[in-house]
Amino acid sequence: MQPAPPPPDATTLHVAVFAGMAELVGGRRLALDWSGGSVDDLRQLVARRHPEVAALLARSAVAVDGRYAADGDPVGSGADVAIIPPVSGG
Amino acid sequence: MERSGGIAAAPARQGFAALVRAAIDPATVLAAVRDASAGGNVLFLGTARSMTAGVATRALEYDAHESLAAATLDALRQTAIARFGLTASAVVHRLGHVPVGEAAVAVATSGPHRAEAFAAAEWLMAEIKRQVPIWKGEDRGGGRIEWQHPESAPRPGGGP
C-alpha cells in the first residue's frame, strides 16, 4: 500500500533516535511529514513509516522539548522530539 | 558542562554532574566533594568488565540524549544531597568508546558520617541505571554493537 500523501500544511518534523533504535533505522534522526497531533499520533506515524522500530517504540518514552511527554500531549510542528528507549547507563 | 574532553569544568561547591568523552579522572571527582565538614567520603567507579554472561566484551559504547541526561544526572545529584543529608555529591558519566578496565561512571558522595555517604552512592547508581537516558552497547567483536534496552526496564520517564 502506498502511504497517503502528506496534507498540504505538513512540515518536516525531525525526531531524534538513539542507540538500538538508531541502528534499526540507520540514522540518528527521522524526518516525518507532520501537521500537528498528539504524542500518540506521532507514535502511530513512526510505527507506520518505520515498522522495524515498532516493538522497541512501544517500550519507549517520548520527550518533547526536553521533557517526557504523555501520549495525549500535543506535538507542535516545530517541536524538539526524541524517542527514549529503555535505558542501560551506569 | 565539558562534553568533548576531560573534566575541565570547575566543580561547584556542592559537587557537579557532567558527561565526558575522555577518561574519567577519579581524583577530580572525589576532590569535588571533599569538605572540612565531611567525615565520610565515598568514591564509586563503574568500570567496563571483560565478560558479561559468559561472553567476552571488547569494549563498551555509550550513547545518550545529552541535554536530558545531563539535566537528570544533576537533578539526581541534588536530590541525593537533600535526601541523605550529604555535604556534596558529584556524578560523571562517560560517553562514546570505553575500553575494558576503564571507568564508564563515577559517583562521589560526602557527608558528616560514612553511613549516609555509602547509602547515597548506592542510591545514585541505582537511579542512574533506572532513569538517566544513557544506553550501553557491548562490542563483542565482529563489528557490531549490541545495544542494551532491557525488557524488564520500565518505560523511561515514568509514563504509562
- The structural domains of chain B, with segments of one domain joined by +, span 17-139
Type of residue found at B59: A
Domain that holds residue A50: 11-84
Q: Say if A27 falls within a structural domain.
A: yes
| Residue B158 per-residue DSSP state | G
Tell me if B67 sits within 8 A of A82, measured CB to CB.
no
Local structure of B106: helix, strand or coil: strand
Residue with cell 497517503: A4
* Average pLDDT score over residue span A42-53: 98
Cα atoms in the 13 Å half-sphere on the side-chain side of B10: 1
Confidence of residue B60 (pLDDT cuts 50, 70, 90): very high
Tell me if B19 sits within 8 A of B73, measured CB to CB.
yes
How many contacts (CB atoms, under 8 Å) link A and B? 104
Residues 6+ apart with CB under 8 A from A56: A20, A21, A24, A85, B149
Residues 6+ apart with CB under 8 A from B63: A18, A19, A22, B95, B134, B135, B137, B147
Q: Is the pLDDT of residue B77 over 60?
A: yes
Q: Say if A26 falls within a structural domain.
A: yes
* Average pLDDT score over residue span B63-77: 97
pLDDT score at B158: 59
Q: Say if A48 falls within a structural domain.
A: yes
Q: What is the CATH number of the domain that holds A60?
A: 3.10.20.30
Residues A39-53 as b/e (b if ≥16 CB within 10 A, e otherwise) read bebbbebbeeebeeb
Question: By the CB < 8 Å criterion, does A22 face chain B?
Answer: yes
Q: Helices B66-84 and B114-131, interaxial angle, to 10°?
A: 150
The chain-wide mean pLDDT, for chain A, equals 93
* Average pLDDT score over residue span B94-117: 98
Pick from B29-43, B118-132, B141-155: least confident: B141-155
Pick from B38-47, B114-123, B145-154: least confident: B145-154
pLDDT score at A9: 75
Number of structural domains in chain A? 1
Fold held by B17-139: Aldehyde Oxidoreductase; domain 3 (3.90.1170)
Tell me if A81 sits within 8 A of A29, measured CB to CB.
no
Q: Say if A90 falls within a structural domain.
A: no
Q: Is the pLDDT of residue A85 over 50?
A: yes
Residue from B24, B57, B63 whose CB has the most chain A CBs within 10 Å, to mutate:
B63
Give the minimum alpha-carbon distance from B40 to chain A in angstroms, rounded to a whole number.
Answer: 23
Q: Is the pLDDT of residue B65 over 80?
A: yes
Of the candidates A18, A89, A20, which has an alpha carbon nearest to the alpha carbon of residue B129?
A: A89
pLDDT score at B27: 97
Q: Say if A5 falls within a structural domain.
A: no
Residues 26-45 of A with CB under 8 A from B: none
Condensed to tens digits (0 to 9), the pLDDT of residues B5-24 reads 454 444 446 999 999 999 99
